[in-house]
A and B are shown apart, each in its own frame.
Chain A
């Protein structure tokens, strides 16, 4: 029987969103359906320019007969429409979002303000350095802080997201081996890794070789020994890994990879668990990407923008993407310079600069001590929640978890036929966004739960009670309620199969709806 929490940890929860109201059960029209010919919102500055006609300005063979088919709506209708759309969407600001691996922590509003300052937003990316000293200094200081946090020598801030950071890191790996005169062909990746890892490996021109996990959920050292050879460019590792477990053999893993001449790549998806406790550089990693939209609270924006800086060990600095913002110690001015053996540009400009400004503000507000507390509390919340659901779900890899844990609902499925998917949908009705489901792939009926440090103990406890309730309910009703869930959302269970079969990828008027934007089968 699970032990009960102390009263101080229970009570009304700030993160449980089950009071969120939804008006109506009708669909929201597409903005095109609100369109009325001739209706308009737009106006432009009075400029006094000569009013030449389009035919005076554009050669006839380039001039379109008609402008693109956009909707024609009033500003009032547009605002109402978009506002209603926002009311059909869950968010961290509404309630807890324990989506494992995604780190849906609260994003301080301070960072919104910091990234909206006109002196930052109004700067053109091609302005000469003497006009952008503030921006360059911000980027240099952010790079410095990220290097201190990760224990690395230097970083590029260009990658726009984690996956672009991965590709950048792998291209650095390739450049290093090429420069050493020993090109290699394979990159090792644990079987628990994010899908972006092998996808990035392919784009970097390497082949993925999968390393199995052992019964603890960690890299199988014996298997690794047989896989490491002089054709291995490196190993990509997430630590803590996607099971939320710290790879405690990391020193030996690093030794094996380095002795074979390979490089060690740190996937920073879970860096938030170890801030101030362990640094990737001290574990022996040569290349580190960070997801600033996870660890450093850049909001996810419905899927982006994020930022994926890559930090490296001293021997890789000369290969970093350029141009890099740097402080010239002689003039005490900030400049943009390209390293001598740079792999080249990764981003059209300097990266997702305004997202970088958010991360800068977050790091400054928390400070070194605050970041360590962020990590500790993230782990504390996850460890607590895991213990609270110990009797509710299977825990196939029952090692001490870090900032997240992976439970298996296989026990519930065996007993009631209810799948992890159904439990996730039922949890919505309890006022929580579901955890990540069916990942990592090595866990049956996986539920990957990451409460984050910004949820109070009462919210974490409320999550535990919600999990208990929905499983107890499934045992009682055979899963009827879970399979019918969610019933409190703007739409009920969505038909994903039909979406893929009858592709409708853009709006078209009714008479065209039967044929438009259909993509023919079979697969190419």
Chain B
């Protein structure tokens, strides 16, 4: 008997007998022979649980993890943060892990209320009014933000800052290519220079802080967008939101972001969670993407929650839907909400402050090294780019030999910056680690 099937041979025989069939094979008797697979799958036979876990351990041992292996200064859209014990303990609860999308509200109040609380916290992070129940990741949220803007403005040109993460820009190109006309706004000294004539733009997409860690002028981008009749879509770092003015208060119409820092391990890039919020605007009822939880009452007039505005969605509106999103990242969203509640307003501010302090200190130590210079001059928060004398890839390789993930080589993404490394420092790095790192860095340049 296989691993996953409870039936005994006697039970299978009794069920087949009930159905008037002789064998399990007969269940497929109506399928044409021409397409039947003879001889079963050419896939290795099943293994015992402990054997599978031993294989997984062997695969894991072939990695050099950024967390638990190297001392990491890598960011670039995915961040090492402390993960409070409550987050895995509560997020692994099987009532969350093994339930479906809450279509039956009477059986799903737990997931629905957790998502309602998540939506409330995402609104607070971004200073906006309406947040959906999550998208796949920051990239998919950016795509949906531009789609929303195009639908709301009935236009198809989108301006994207070159300081939006290159992977996000590429996903946007892939997924909106058939419908939107994308234009790139260049960088000057680490910040976006928007053209004076934006044309018939549907949206501007800016990142705050941007991929180089620099603080963009979001309010200026919002003014320019609004003067052109476009929406401002801001990809906002939710950790930085502990210190920075909210993108909503700076004029953004749509905020998108990556929720990974809150309770989700690096995990080789997923599953993460795409944050998405917008203003209290008329387009919400028709064009908001993704699932949405609303508060209502039950038949006994008690507070209850339910998926709402489903007439926007693919299962109702089909080809005219606001998005094709069905499965989202609920469990990761719940993890983020639990982590955010554990932090509270002051914990989030402290978290952002600690990241900024660590980054300032690290940057100062590294800039003392002869030949190391800032790659750009704009102010940064907890991620920054440094120019190295000689190829960054070589420096990073030498640092890896000494046990450091020294950041990310920017050359493949921003050749105009020369030899440059992008470093992020979070609350996880100690002064002693940074001091050792800086001296190793100096040696690596020799």
Are B242's CB and A68's CB within 8 A?
yes
Are B348's CB and A30's CB within 8 A?
no
The residue from A70, A321, A361, A502 contacting B345, defined by CB atoms under 8 A apart: A70
The residue from A348, A400, A523 contacting B139, defined by CB atoms under 8 A apart: A348
**Bound Cα distance A167, B210 (Å):** 28
B53 interfacial by beta-carbon distance below 8 Å: yes
Given A167-B324, A277-B37: A202 in contact with B306 (beta carbons within 8 A): no
Among residues 348 to 370 in chain A, which have CB atoms less than 8 Å away from a CB atom of chain B?
Answer: 348-355, 357, 360-361, 363-370
The residue from A47, A58, A204, A349 contacting B270, defined by CB atoms under 8 A apart: A349
Contacts of B376 in A (CB 8 A): none
Number of interface residues of B (CB under 8 A): 216
Are B31's CB and A6's CB within 8 A?
no
The residue from A137, A202, A348 contacting B59, defined by CB atoms under 8 A apart: A137
- Closest chain-B Cβ to A425's Cβ sits at a distance in Å of 7
Are B314's CB and A196's CB within 8 A?
yes
Find the A residue at minimum CB distance from B79.
Answer: A124
Are A68's CB and B241's CB within 8 A?
yes
Most-contacted residue by chain A among B41, B111, B131, B215 (CB, 10 A): B41
A18 interfacial by beta-carbon distance below 8 Å: no
**Bound Cα distance A58, B215 (Å):** 9
Given A90-B104, A453-B5, A496-B308: A368 in contact with B268 (beta carbons within 8 A): no
The residue from B5, B59, B167, B287 contacting A135, defined by CB atoms under 8 A apart: B59
The residue from B165, B341, B353 contacting A73, defined by CB atoms under 8 A apart: B341
**Bound Cα distance A195, B16 (Å):** 35
Are A203's CB and B179's CB within 8 A?
yes
B22 interfacial by beta-carbon distance below 8 Å: no
- Closest chain-A Cβ to B316's Cβ sits at a distance in Å of 7
Contacts of B348 in A (CB 8 A): 67-68, 70
**Bound Cα distance A138, B5 (Å):** 25
A12 interfacial by beta-carbon distance below 8 Å: no
Number of interface residues of A (CB under 8 A): 217
Contacts of B168 in A (CB 8 A): 348
- Closest chain-A Cβ to B394's Cβ sits at a distance in Å of 12
Are B63's CB and A132's CB within 8 A?
yes
| Total inter-chain residue pairs, C-beta < 8 Å | 762
Contacts of A190 in B (CB 8 A): none
Find the A residue at minimum CB distance from B293.
Answer: A505
Are A199's CB and B328's CB within 8 A?
no
Given A92-B98, A349-B167, A506-B130: A301 in contact with B330 (beta carbons within 8 A): yes
Given A87-B95, A91-B94, A456-B7: A126 in contact with B408 (beta carbons within 8 A): yes
Secondary structure dominating the interface of A: loop
The residue from A59, A94, A489 contacting B215, defined by CB atoms under 8 A apart: A59
- Closest chain-A Cβ to B145's Cβ sits at a distance in Å of 14
> Please, what's the 1-or-0 string for A320-357, where 1 marks a CB less than 8 Å from any CB in chain B?
01000000000000000000000111111111111101
- Closest chain-B Cβ to A378's Cβ sits at a distance in Å of 9
- Closest chain-B Cβ to A314's Cβ sits at a distance in Å of 17
**Bound Cα distance A104, B285 (Å):** 31
**Bound Cα distance A102, B147 (Å):** 27
**Bound Cα distance A75, B87 (Å):** 11
B27 interfacial by beta-carbon distance below 8 Å: yes
Are B27's CB and A380's CB within 8 A?
yes
Contacts of A85 in B (CB 8 A): 109-111, 113-114
Are A69's CB and B327's CB within 8 A?
no
**Bound Cα distance A516, B280 (Å):** 9
**Bound Cα distance A86, B60 (Å):** 32
Are B245's CB and A492's CB within 8 A?
no
- Closest chain-A Cβ to B153's Cβ sits at a distance in Å of 11
B343 interfacial by beta-carbon distance below 8 Å: yes
Find the B residue at minimum CB distance from A458.
Answer: B11
A479 interfacial by beta-carbon distance below 8 Å: no
Among residues 144 to 189 in chain A, which have CB atoms less than 8 Å away from a CB atom of chain B?
Answer: 145, 148-149, 151, 160-164, 166-167, 171, 174
Contacts of B147 in A (CB 8 A): 203
Are B130's CB and A89's CB within 8 A?
no
The residue from A54, A78, A107, A119 contacting B243, defined by CB atoms under 8 A apart: A54
Contacts of B97 in A (CB 8 A): 91, 93, 107, 112, 299, 301-302
**Bound Cα distance A105, B3 (Å):** 13
The stretch from A220-228, A243-251, A468-476 touching chain B is: A243-251
B184 interfacial by beta-carbon distance below 8 Å: no
Are B329's CB and A31's CB within 8 A?
no
Contacts of A149 in B (CB 8 A): 41, 43
Are A499's CB and B294's CB within 8 A?
yes
Are A47's CB and B354's CB within 8 A?
yes
Are B14's CB and A8's CB within 8 A?
yes
Find the B residue at minimum CB distance from A493.
Answer: B299
Among residues 102 to 139 in chain A, which have CB atoms less than 8 Å away from a CB atom of chain B?
Answer: 102, 104-108, 110, 112-114, 117-128, 131-135, 137-138
A396 interfacial by beta-carbon distance below 8 Å: no
**Bound Cα distance A103, B151 (Å):** 34
Find the A residue at minimum CB distance from B143.
Answer: A203
Are A305's CB and B284's CB within 8 A?
no
B183 interfacial by beta-carbon distance below 8 Å: no
**Bound Cα distance A73, B62 (Å):** 41
- Closest chain-B Cβ to A275's Cβ sits at a distance in Å of 7
**Bound Cα distance A326, B334 (Å):** 34
What 4 new A-B contacts, CB under 8 Å, besides A124-B65, A195-B321, A202-B321?
Answer: A79-B89, A366-B4, A379-B28, A505-B293
Top 8 A-B pairs, shortest CB-CB distance: A349-B269, A119-B60, A205-B178, A367-B46, A125-B269, A89-B110, A301-B331, A122-B65
13 A-B pairs in the complex with CB atoms less than 8 angstroms apart: A45-B428, A47-B427, A47-B430, A50-B431, A51-B357, A64-B244, A71-B344, A73-B341, A88-B113, A89-B110, A137-B62, A164-B136, A348-B258
